[in-house]
Structure 1
């Protein structure tokens, strides 16, 4: 498993433990194997995996995006 995989796993762990966004195993694995390349794409993928519809302008999306952004800024 590559370094990026463990970074994505840590991001998903923080979303689950810190924010309650615990994705189904298949969805988590898909994001680990082929993570979206940008913050908004990753945020949208997490929300879609949780079954949310259009979350474009919601506090929930902002909350998830903040966690994703914090992690992705530190990725090499």
Structure 2
């Protein structure tokens, strides 16, 4: 069985966030998240908002949508 590449996993998540929700992060922010991805969905979601220059507290529904996608992807990362 092929081993999963964490960089590719994060890249797929970031692509989905860009296409579906408009969070198209600058290349250096994408690289940072791929190299050192936050360990949990809440922290990853906060990092995405920070990289976008947004306050997640001001966008509760959008934060919920981002977090749901992050959580769904992160759950798959743990699958063998």
| Normalised TM-score (structure 2) | 0.87
Q: What is the total number of aligned residue pairs between the two structures?
A: 75
Task: Give the gaps of 5 or more residues in structure 1.
Answer: none
In the alignment, what sits opposite 1:51?
53
Greater percentage in helix: 2
Aligned match of 2:24 in 19, 22, 25? Answer: 22
Task: Give the stretch that moved more between structures: 14-23 or 55-64.
Answer: 55-64
The runs of at least 4 consecutive aligned structure 1 residues that moved more than 3 Å come to none
Q: Distance in 2 between matches of 1:55 and 1:17?
A: 22
User: Which structure has the larger Rg?
Assistant: 2
In the alignment, what sits opposite 2:63?
61
Task: Give the gaps of 5 or more residues in structure 2.
Answer: none
| Normalised TM-score (structure 1) | 0.91
Task: Give the stretch that moved more between structures: 46-55 or 8-17.
Answer: 46-55
In the alignment, what sits opposite 1:36?
38
